[in-house]
Amino acid sequence: MTSANVIIYSARDVSDIMRWAKEEADRLNMEWSKLFAVMAREIQTPLHQVVGFVELLARTKLNDKQGDFVSMLQSLTHALMAIINDLLDFTKMEAGKFELKLIPFEARAVIAGCMAAVSPQAEEKGLRMV
């Protein structure tokens, strides 16, 4: 009895499956983007109200420490609003509906705002912001 090498070969065209998988992934990605945009808008609505109340609070008579806290709240709520707006811009980019705008800004003011936002936590940890 002789032994023979046997090769078994099977081929299958999976191009239809691959096309369907890509279409399904694209569809799910679009659904995720829509859900993401709705969630961001739902967060944006009460945050607008928080910003408004912080602005009203800033107009009241406050001692220096309270004024610093309100100033920090203003900065942080505006930062949160900017993040939400960035997320909404991202969903617009995915949908092909995004426009770039040139907006001047003061880099030192942005850096100072960032430092002011994290300095209380740094001080609590015994760190000094320079």
Can you tell me the distance from the alpha carbon of 75 to that of 53, in angstroms, rounded to the nearest whole number? 13
pTM of the model: 0.56
DSSP symbol at 126 = T
| Residue 16 or 2, more confident | 16
Q: Where are the domains of the chain?
A: 15-124
pLDDT in tens, 67-115: 999 999 998 999 899 999 888 888 888 777 778 788 898 999 888 888 8
What is the DSSP-derived secondary structure letter of residue 129? -
Q: Would you state the pLDDT for residue 24?
A: 92
Q: Does domain 15-124 sit in CATH 1.10.10?
A: no
